[in-house]
Structures are given as structure tokens and as C-alpha cells.
Amino acid sequence: MKYLIYVLFFLASCKQKDKEVSIVGKWEYQKMETYSGEPIDLANPTINKLHEDQKGWTFSFDKKNIFKVTHVKTDKPEEFVAEQPYELTEDKKTVILKNTGRPDDKFSIIELSDTLLKINIFYSDKAYMVFERKN
């Protein structure tokens, strides 16, 4: 019994800690999702246009806390759109884009994993955007 307890303590101490998920990297827009779980109505012309306009957008977050936005259109190469400092809150639930001369933008993170970033950049209570890691 004594050896069983030692083995259990040993195994518990060897357990790997959960891997820290990082926002650092390049993320490409994939789709929109609703908070309710209902499918996005792409038959609605307004919603479909918004979805089509988002295709090709990429967000990049680097280790020096610089956020960059680029956009690729089917007929043009990648186009630089914007760059600014960012901050990720300690709980990883909000990205704060640091602005000069106006209040900072604060965007809720719905989910952050190794492969997906679900973020609400439209301040919507109905839907949010889904980005996939590209690096």
C-alpha cells in the first residue's frame, strides 16, 4: 500500500501542466457564428455581403504586442490595412487595441485555442467572427 501511494504521488507530480495557448500568430477569417448556435443566414443579402467582405482578412499578433491587419482580395495581393499596439487581458477574454487620441477598442474573445480565435469585433450580441491560425 505504501508503494502504491508513492507511485500515485510520483505520477501526479509528473503530470504535464496545461499548455499555455497564445494569441501570437497570424489568423485568417473563416466564418461567422451566432451565440445561440443557430446557423448564419447567408441567404440574407446583408449578412452574406458582410461575410463576403470579411473573406481574406488576417489578424496578426506579435510578441512585441503589435497588432496588424491585412486583406487579400482574389484579384490583388495581400494589402496592409492597419497596425497598432495591443494588449491581451490576463484572463485572455479581451483584446484591447491601443488607440491614440480616442478610447481604446476592446474586443471580447469567445474562444482562443491553438487553431481557432473566436472574437467579437462588431460589438454584436448576436454573432462573432471565427479566425483560423495560419502559422
**pLDDT for 72-103, tens place per residue?**
877 778 899 999 999 999 999 999 999 999 99
Helix (H) or strand (E) holding 84: strand 76-88
Q: What global pTM score does this model have?
A: 0.82
**C-alpha dihedral sign at 93, 97, 98, 101:** negative
Q: Which residues pair with 43 in a beta bridge?
A: none
CATH of domain 25-133: 2.40.128.280
* Dihedral angle, C-alpha 92, 116, 86, 119, nearest 10 °: -80
Q: 77 by DSSP, 3-state: which?
A: strand
**pLDDT for 55-75, tens place per residue?**
999 999 999 999 999 998 777
